[in-house]
Each structure stands twice: as C-alpha cells, then as structure tokens.
C-alpha cells in the first residue's frame, strides 16, 4: 500500500527518516489540519517517554487508538488526492499504486507497527539509529604470532586488524605514543573520539590534565610511553565487549614485552578489569603494587583522566596514586 505525504511527514515529525526511490514521483499536498493532530500526538508520546516511568496502559491504548484513527483519515485523504496539482504549466502526474517500491511497503509496515505500541517502537527505532547500520557479526580471530614483531611491524598488524567487529566503523587505529625506551608505561582503556581523530592516546582535555599531573610529580611526559587497551574506538565511546577487549589485549601484551617498563599504570575500569582480572571497586585497588603473570613490572591502578573531568574531587586521589607509583620505581 502506498504511503501518502502526510504519513511521511508523520514519520519525519518523530525523527524517523524514510527513504524513497528517486524514480518515484510523490504528490505534494497542501498542509492539512492533521498536522496539528500529529504534533499533539508527538508531544503526548514525548511526555510519556520523559515522565520518569511508563505511561498507564489506558493512556497507551488511547494513544494507539488515536494513531489508528489518524492513519485511517490520512489513507482516506490519500485516495482523494491521487493527482498532484500542475505547477508552472506542467501536466499533472498521477501515481500508480503498482509503482510503489520496497521502501514504501516498508514505511507502511512501520506505520502499522507503530499503531500497536507507539512508545516501545519509537524507543526501539531511536536506539537502532544511534547504533548505526547493523552488520553481520564478525567471528573472532585469535591474535597470535606476535612474538617476532617489533614496534613498526606490530603497528602495521594493528592497522590491518579485523579480529573483532570494531574494525567496521573505525576511522583510524590508535596505537600509542611516547618514548619506546621509557621506564613508565601508562595504559588507558579506550581511545576517545578526539584520540581517534589525532591517532594518539590521551589527547584533548584529558591529555592536558594527565601531562599536568605528571609534571606535578616531576615527570616529563616525553619520558613516558602511553597507549590504550583498545586500539579501535568503540561506538559512542562505550566500554568494549569482553571478547573485543580479549582480542586487543594480545597487542597490549606485546607492547609491554617490547617496552619492558619498570612500571605500568592502568587508567580506567575497563583496562584494570582486563589486565588484573579484578572485580573490586577502583577504591579497593588503589595504592597497591599489583602483579600479573607475564608482566614483570609492578602495576598501579587508578582513574582515567577523562573521568576526572567529570569527577574533579578524584584528582587528589590520582595524584596520590602517581606519587605512590613514583616510589615503586625509586625503590
């Protein structure tokens, strides 16, 4: 069943794009009073979604009934306006129902689904738009044979990695930066958006904060090597999935072997969980020198600088952790 211009406007009002073949002409209609009804319904749905809880069942049934009634009215209007008014001397063109492509049928199905449970469907569509196109999952490929790789070859391996599905959406990998002969190794959890743009870890405000904190204990950031557990940025800067973190950890292990640092500082919950396998809170892991099989250097756990930007009260704790870390190197 073809979809009218009013139905398209209805979907657009809710922020739901509808793609239509460019070969298909769509009639233009003057504004109808139904637009006001659509706005009222959209506002009602928005109020239900942001009211701190689910709307009463009777309210949802009422909204669904109104949408069903409005959809029927729109379909009736469509039947009475099957010819687009001629403009600038152009001959009027009719739209044949037979010319409706898959896009229109999909839109019609979408409207039908929205009538059943408007709030749930709108939330589901919004979530799918945030996540981007859905692709078939990638079978995880174990990252192996890294023992013989030096710094340059390891970075090339990372750049070409397809071990998990994060490679599908990445713009750049973020390998690391700093002195590859350094005694200090600082490991974050994930690259943030600005890190991906600059192809370096700890950039922007969080990087400036980290450099200032290192300077406050008398350590030049140029004498530190910095990297992340994850070499690709997860969508929306979210935490990586466990299997994604496991795949990337192989690269971090090789970086630690190549650097052979005197100290490793883990910044962020995700990297602490992966490296230490710890389930305790960060407060319970701080101010301790941890050990992990395969890593000779003592490991210090603390908060990520980007978290400090949201929780400034924790800056003093991270400074304490850095002072504690410095003592481990000096002993």
pTM of the full structure: 0.58
Domains and CATH numbers, the chain: 5-76+100-131 (no CATH), 151-330 (3.40.470.10)
Count the neighbouring beta carbons within 10 Å of the beta carbon of residue 174.
26
- The answer for residues whose C-beta is within 8 angstroms of residue 151's C-beta and 6 or more apart is 180, 258
Kindly report, residue by residue over 277-323, the tens digit of the pLDDT.
878 889 999 999 999 988 999 999 999 999 999 999 999 999 999 99
Q: Using a CB cutoff of 8 Å and minimum separation of 24, what contacts does 43-46 make?
A: 45/14, 45/118, 45/119, 45/122
Residue 44 contacts residue 155 (beta carbons within 8 Å): no
Mean pLDDT for each consecutive 10-residue tract of the chain (331 residues)? Answer: 60 57 42 48 48 45 51 50 46 45 58 59 49 42 73 94 88 94 95 93 95 93 92 91 91 95 95 89 93 92 95 95 92 66
Residue 307 contacts residue 202 (beta carbons within 8 Å): no
Nearest to 66 by CA among 18, 109, 34: 34
């Amino acid at each position: 069943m073809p979809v009218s211009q009013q139905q398209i406007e209805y979907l657009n009002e809710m922020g739901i794009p509808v793609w239509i073949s460019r070969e298909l002409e769509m009639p233009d209609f003057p504004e109808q009073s139904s637009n006001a009804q659509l706005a009222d319904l959209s506002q009602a749905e928005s109020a239900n979604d942001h009211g701190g809880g689910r709307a009463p069942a009777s309210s949802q049934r009422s909204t669904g009934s109104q949408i069903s009634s409005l959809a029927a009215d729109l379909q009736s209007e469509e039947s009475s306006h099957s010819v687009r008014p001629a403009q600038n001397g152009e001959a009027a063109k009719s739209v044949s129902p037979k010319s409706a492509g898959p896009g229109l049928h999909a839109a019609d199905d979408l409207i039908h689904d929205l009538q059943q449970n408007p709030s749930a469907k709108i939330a589901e569509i919004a979530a799918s738009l945030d996540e981007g196109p859905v692709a078939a999952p990638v079978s995880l490929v174990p990252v192996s044979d890294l023992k013989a790789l030096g710094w340059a070859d390891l970075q090339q391996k990372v750049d070409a990695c397809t071990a998990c599905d994060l490679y599908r959406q990445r713009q750049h990998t973020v390998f690391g930066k700093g002195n590859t002969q350094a005694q200090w190794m600082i490991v974050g959890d994930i690259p943030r958006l600005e890190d991906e743009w600059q192809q370096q870890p700890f950039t922007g405000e969080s990087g400036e904060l980290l450099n200032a904190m290192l300077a406050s204990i008398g350590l030049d950031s140029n004498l530190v090597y910095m990297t992340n557990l994850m070499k690709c940025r997860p969508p929306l800067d979210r935490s990586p999935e466990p299997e994604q973190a496991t795949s990337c950890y192989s690269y971090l292990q090789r970086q630690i072997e190549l650097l052979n640092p005197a100290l490793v500082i883990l910044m962020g919950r995700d990297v602490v969980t992966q490296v230490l396998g710890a389930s305790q809170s960060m407060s319970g892991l701080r101010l301790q020198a941890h050990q992990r099989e395969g890593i000779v250097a003592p490991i210090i756990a603390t908060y990520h600088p980007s978290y400090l930007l949201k929780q400034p009260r924790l800056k003093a704790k991270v400074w304490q952790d850095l002072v504690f870390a410095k003592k481990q190197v000096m002993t």
